[in-house]
């Protein structure tokens, strides 16, 4: 809490020194009176930041002069260090009630909220207009302490590193919570050099290819050149965002030192966890329970943690399993924190094949671990019993213990439901300690309303959590992603709570790691190249893309507000978006009158930022009406309680909040009609319009000027499960690619959206363009993979006879491709096997899932047709990785299967023709066979997937492959259709001409 009348430093949170030794008032910025202490200002200037964080006005020259440490530097300036008081609140933890009844908004409380808010704005405005006043004098810092501070700052700056020193208030701002570690120049410089060389070689290569057409195979040559140009553009889009990769390191001991001082309440920010699930039959309740248990046991203050579980299927099975989970958590959470075990998901902890006694010194550990394992097995049996019971639903529907029908019996027509477990007023753990809050949420669903699937469920959780706890940060997880590192939240807070870093950070993204994948990772499920190479590159620009799970959000960024460091006095010249489905301002002049400047500014931000200059001429009542009806309610919806929560940058709920009132308000904000005629899903919250709402949501935040952070702790923060079966993996990739196509065909396409504000960096835009156009590569890829087989079957080739110079050019191109990959692996630490698996699946997914996604996306967006691909599965009796060898037929398998067959046939036909033609035919054959084998090697994992289990290849696959390849190639060679036919008349005429 802020002391009344005593301003605090906005960076370190300490009280401002007030009076300088020369009797003047210390002020950092004389334009906006931004509250910052002298030590923080010195550190900012030493780091090269010489402009105010709030108004971007440059600091006075006398302040930024070398004598900044001397008292004479401030002698000519005196002003009041004005500050903006922060909205304070507490986390209400005494709410434990269930409600499924829709309620109205409390008018009286709503009016009072708006009245208080307007009065607060008036006080802030008046405080800025008041003449400077002399604050209360504080004790001056002794000269010895100032010298010590100056000496330590100089030492830190000289060594270019941050050393841990004893805690001292005067030097605390110099201790960062995180640090950027650039890639060594010895690794990065050769990498960049090869990229430039490769770009030059590509230009020369295309000059040669275009100026040397192949007349005998002009169609094949033209097709190959077009494909190669597209591949080059795709490479540029993928390569240059990796120009400046970085690593980061966090200092959690400094986080503890700054925000968890001994004898004081924890100053760490609260976090609301979101877990989303739909169908418990497809997403086993035991997996969801393990995710929830790992959240409740995180190494974080219990009063700062709340877990919200969204049941979008309104399944009684999910609710009952959550009841069992809450009861088991009373035993599991204290066990985890007592013995510091990792991971804190019981299923994965007890299944570890490691020495669980390592580093354990407490004699009672073995006994308690055995008892806990027995308790968990009993818990599993209870969950399995619930699942077995739910297999056959009664005709009259499910009923609860009190005999009342389950409200969610009709999954498409049911009221909203909220149940609060645990917490302050709920059950405590076995040792009598408080547990984190656990909340069950099922939003209302009615026929005729668009519910927007996962994105809509996440937005409902945003509103519910804002009403009940309103933590300033949100972490969302899929139901199958558990917390693998109990300190992961502290890792994220080292960025978000760092005053020097976190002020413009919208989210901290963790890499995805997976369990249960075969050792060879046949289908590149781990996606190592993307998470360990591409994301590091983006972290050096404006931040990684949001990947849908394992991400800690700044709640204010989800509300559409811009970052605090964004200059407020900048007016854009044009709007921030343009869509080819609407009228473009540069192509079709608008007939509408010019908009007000403030309106253009808000439209450019795509946010709900309210400009106070618009209401200066209104009285108190008019201001209240204008704010509530004209701006905020149209953006956030008709809930004054929720709107009030959006203005609390530090989170929390009002101290006077009533528990029952908040529950009723939470039910109100998850109503199916709440989002009607609001900005939800358009400008705030998770953005609608694509099945990959994650990419779209992160893109909108970056367009507003936010940046994101990529955090890679040594112990993976979260782990999940991935589909290791070929067909399931292809369908997962199909969904991602379909979402990219939907974004490409929408108004949010990075090719034309977000130019007005100028806040999205160009390399970041290239990365986003790459994320939405990559499925289109499937068209040239499938054509290019067919060309080798066609060349072998026709005897033609796409490249003319090479000269010595052309041979050197082709060799240089291949060498630059290899060197780029090698140097990329060198600085990233990715293994060669992971890189090769990524290359293979790029081809497999490109000729199957991406191809179908392009056509399905076009049908869905342009024609309104939604095509679903069904998968039929066969059972597998394998114990270890049995799912890997399951063969599931799907239409996605047709294109790659066809490519494999025609290339095998082409190779057989090419060798047969060479045997019949003699020695001179083997030279041209080499280039054709090389490209054909390139296709086959890339599709080899797909071929293994078709063959099923190792050492038991399906006989039908072998017979048909060999039969078709042999028969077709022999018939082709025998008929030789490309030899010119000579009829009998031609033969007789030739005989007469030679007098035969």
Q: What whole-number distance in Å separates Cα of residue 456 and Cα of residue 451? A: 6
Asked about 694 being catalytic, the answer comes back as yes
Q: What whole-number distance in Å separates Cα of residue 164 and Cα of residue 169? A: 14
Element (H, E) at 307: strand 305-311
DSSP 747: T
The structure tokens 């929408």 sit at: 746
Label residue 243 exposed, middle or buried (CB < 10 Å: 0-12, 13-18, 19+). middle
Of 845, 844, 843, 825, the residue nearest 833 (C-alpha)? 825
Asked if 921 and 914 count as a contact pair (C-beta separation under 8 A), the reply is yes
Of 292, 306, 234, the residue nearest 470 (C-alpha)? 306
Residues 6+ away with beta carbon under 8 Å from 779: 851, 854
Structure tokens at 413: 């027509």
Q: From the candidates 312, 429, 604, 913, which is the catalytic residue?
A: 312
Helix, strand, coil distribution of the chain in percent, nearest 5: 50, 10, 40
Element (H, E) at 708: strand 707-710
Residues 6+ away with beta carbon under 8 Å from 790: 220, 796, 906
SS3 of 515, please? strand
Plot region of 881 (φ>0 → left; ψ -120 to 50 → alpha; else → beta): left
Peptide bond into 343 cis (omega under 30): yes
Q: From the candidates 694, 728, 834, 913, which is the catalytic residue?
A: 694
Please write down the HEC assignment for all residues of 776-839. Answer: HHHHHHHHHHHHHHHHHHHCCCCCCCCCHHHHHHHHHHHHHHHHHHHHHHHHHCCCHHHHHHHH
The HSE-up count of residue 389 (CA atoms within 13 Å, CB side) is 16
SS3 of 505, please? strand
Q: What whole-number distance in Å separates Cα of residue 763 and Cα of residue 239? A: 10
Asked about 429 being catalytic, the answer comes back as no
Give me the DSSP letters along 235-296: HHHHHGGGSS-EEEEE-HHHHHHHH--TTS---PPPEEEEEEE--TTTS-HHHHHHHHHHHH
SS3 of 99, please? strand
Asked if 176 and 500 count as a contact pair (C-beta separation under 8 A), the reply is yes
Task: List C-alpha distances in Å: 637 to 67, 541, 735.
Answer: 53, 35, 31
Q: What whole-number distance in Å separates Cα of residue 651 and Cα of residue 87? A: 8
**Residue 235 CB: number of other CB atoms within 10 A?**
17
Laid out side by side, the sheet with 98-99 consists of: 98-99, 417-422, 437-442, 305-311, 271-277, 473-478, 551-554, 505-509, 707-710
Laid out side by side, the sheet with 513-515 consists of: 482-483, 718-721, 513-515
SS3 of 182, please? strand
Q: What whole-number distance in Å separates Cα of residue 889 and Cα of residue 516? A: 23
Instruction: List, by residue number, the catalytic residues.
Output: 312, 694
């Amino acid at each position: 809490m802020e002391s009344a009348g005593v301003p605090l430093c906005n960076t370190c949170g300490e009280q401002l020194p007030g009076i300088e030794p020369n009797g003047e008032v210390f002020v950092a910025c004389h334009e906006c009176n931004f509250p910052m202490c002298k030590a923080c200002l010195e550190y900012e200037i030493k780091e090269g930041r010489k402009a105010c964080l709030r108004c971007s006005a440059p600091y006075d020259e006398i302040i930024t002069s070398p004598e900044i440490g001397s008292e004479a530097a401030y002698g000519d300036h005196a002003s009041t260090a004005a500050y903006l008081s922060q909205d304070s609140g507490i986390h209400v933890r005494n709410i434990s009630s269930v409600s499924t009844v829709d309620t109205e908004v409390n008018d009286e409380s709503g009016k009072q909220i708006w009245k208080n808010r307007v009065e607060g704005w008036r006080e802030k405005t008046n405080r800025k207009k008041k003449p400077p006043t002399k604050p209360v004098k504080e004790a001056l810092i002794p000269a010895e302490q100032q010298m010590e501070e100056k000496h330590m700052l100089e030492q830190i700056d000289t060594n270019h590193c941050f050393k841990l020193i004893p805690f001292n208030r005067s030097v605390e701002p110099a201790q960062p919570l995180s640090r950027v570690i650039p890639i060594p120049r010895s690794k990065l410089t050769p990498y960049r050099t090869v990229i430039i060389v490769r770009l030059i070689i590509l230009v020369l290569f295309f000059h040669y290819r275009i100026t040397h057409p192949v007349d005998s195979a002009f169609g094949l040559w033209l097709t190959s050149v077009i494909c190669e140009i597209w591949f080059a553009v795709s490479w540029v889009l993928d390569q240059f965002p990796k120009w400046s990769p970085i690593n980061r390191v966090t200092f959690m001991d400094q986080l503890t030192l700054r925000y968890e001082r001994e004898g004081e309440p924890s100053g760490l920010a609260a976090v609301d966890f979101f877990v989303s699930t739909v169908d418990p039959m497809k997403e086993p309740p035991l997996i969801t329970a393990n995710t929830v248990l790992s959240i409740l046991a995180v190494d974080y203050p219990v009063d700062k943690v709340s877990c919200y579980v969204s049941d979008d299927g309104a399944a009684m099975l999910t609710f009952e399993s959550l009841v069992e989970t809450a009861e088991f958590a009373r035993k599991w959470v204290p066990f985890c924190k007592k013995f510091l075990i990792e991971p804190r998901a019981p299923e994965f902890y007890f299944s570890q094949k490691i020495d669980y006694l390592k580093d354990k010194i407490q004699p009672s550990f073995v006994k308690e671990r055995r008892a806990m394992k027995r308790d968990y097995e009993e818990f599993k049996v209870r969950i399995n019993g619930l699942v077995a019971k739910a297999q056959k639903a009664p005709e009259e529907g499910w009923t609860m213990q009190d005999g009342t029908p389950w409200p969610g019996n009709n999954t498409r027509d049911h009221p909203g439901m909220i149940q609060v477990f645990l917490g302050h007023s709920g059950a405590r753990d076995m040792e009598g300690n408080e547990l984190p809050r656990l909340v069950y949420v099922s939003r209302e669903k009615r026929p005729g309303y668009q519910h927007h699937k996962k994105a809509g469920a996440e937005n409902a959780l945003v509103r519910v959590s804002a009403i009940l706890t309103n933590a300033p940060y949100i972490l969302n997880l899929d139901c199958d992603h558990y917390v693998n590192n109990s300190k992961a939240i502290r890792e994220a807070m080292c960025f978000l709570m760092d005053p020097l870093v976190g002020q413009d950070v919208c989210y901290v993204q963790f890499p995805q790691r997976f369990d249960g994948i075969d050792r060879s990772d046949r289908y590149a499920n781990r996606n190592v190249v993307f998470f360990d190479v591409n994301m590091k590159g983006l972290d050096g620009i404006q931040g990684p893309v949001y990947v849908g799970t394992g991400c800690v959000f700044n709640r204010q960024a989800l509300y559409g507000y811009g970052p605090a460091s964004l200059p407020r006095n900048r007016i854009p010249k044009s709007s921030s978006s343009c869509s080819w489905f609407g009228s473009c301002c540069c192509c079709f002049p608008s007939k509408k009158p010019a908009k007000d400047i403030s309106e253009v500014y808000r439209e450019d931000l795509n946010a709900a930022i309210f400009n106070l200059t618009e209401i200066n001429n209104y009285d108190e009542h008019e201001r209240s009406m204008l704010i509530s009806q004209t701006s905020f309610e149209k953006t956030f919806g008709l809930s004054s309680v929720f709107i009030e929560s959006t203005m609390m940058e530090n989170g929390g709920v009002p101290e006077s909040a009533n528990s029952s009132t908040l529950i009723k308000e939470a039910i109100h904000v998850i109503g199916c009609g709440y989002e009607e005629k609001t900005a939800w899903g358009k400008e705030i919250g998770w953005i609608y319009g694509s099945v990959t709402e994650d990419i779209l949501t992160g893109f909108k935040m970056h367009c507003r000027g936010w940046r994101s952070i990529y955090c890679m702790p040594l112990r993976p923060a979260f782990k999940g499960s991935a589909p290791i079966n070929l067909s399931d993996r292809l369908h997962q990739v199909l969904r991602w690619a379909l979402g990219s196509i939907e974004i490409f065909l929408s108004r949010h396409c990075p090719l034309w959206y977000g130019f007005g504000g100028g806040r999205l960096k160009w390399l970041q835009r290239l990365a986003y363009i790459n994320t939405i156009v990559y499925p289109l590569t499937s068209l040239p890829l499938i054509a290019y993979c067919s060309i080798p087989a066609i060349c072998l079957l026709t005897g033609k080739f796409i490249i003319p006879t090479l000269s010595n110079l052309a041979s050197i050019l082709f060799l240089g191109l291949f060498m630059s491709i290899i060197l780029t990959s090698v140097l990329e692996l060198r600085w990233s630490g990715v293994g060669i096997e992971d890189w090769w698996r990524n290359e293979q699946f790029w081809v497999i997914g490109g000729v199957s899932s991406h191809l179908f996604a392009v056509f399905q996306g076009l049908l869905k967006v342009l024609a309104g047709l939604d095509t679903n691909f069904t998968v039929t599965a066969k059972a597998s009796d394998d114990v270890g990785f049995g799912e890997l060898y399951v063969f599931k037929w799907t239409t996605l398998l047709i294109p790659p299967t066809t490519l494999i067959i025609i290339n095998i046939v082409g190779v057989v036909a090419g060798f047969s023709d060479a045997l019949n033609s003699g020695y001179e035919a083997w030279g041209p054959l080499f280039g054709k066979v090389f490209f054909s084998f390139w296709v086959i090697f890339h599709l080899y994992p797909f071929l293994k997937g078709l063959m099923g289990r190792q050492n038991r290849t399906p006989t039908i696959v072998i017979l048909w492959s060999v039969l078709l390849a042999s028969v077709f190639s022999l018939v082709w060679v025998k008929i030789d259709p490309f030899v010119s036919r000579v009829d009998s008349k031609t033969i007789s005429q030739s005989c007469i001409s030679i007098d035969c």
